[in-house]
Amino acid sequence: MTKRDLVVRIAKETGIPQQDVVAVLQKSLDYIADAIVEGTHIEFRDFGVFDVCRRKQRVGRNPNNPGVPVPIPEHNVVRFRPGKSLKQRVLDANIAPQA
């Protein structure tokens, strides 16, 4: 599902014009991104939690030349942890793996 698919679906179900839905959705995503960049913990009850965690420095391998170590510096990554309700819905769903 893309952002466009989400906008069309919300507009259809609520009767709100697509332009308004796009504006609200984009502003919401902007605020979430801003909060994550600031290091703020974002929690949507029953859906999940977004936060930033620090990955330690480590040594990786180049798949084209496995004998040569590649240093990977310490860096920040965004982490998502699903909430109870979302976890349960996924467990109960009959989802075919995507190729």
User: Rounded to two decimals, what is the model's pTM?
Assistant: 0.76
- Lookup: tokens for 14: 């609520």
Q: How far apart are CA 43 and CA 48, in angstroms?
A: 6
Q: How sure is the predictor about 62, in pLDDT bands with cuts at 50, 70 and 90?
A: confident
Q: How far apart are CA 57 and CA 96, in angstroms?
A: 36
What's the one-letter identity of residue 29?
Answer: L
Angle separating helix axes 3-14 and 18-37, nearest 10 degrees = 130
Q: What are the tens digits of pLDDT across the range 17-58?
A: 999 999 999 999 999 999 999 989 999 998 999 999 999 999
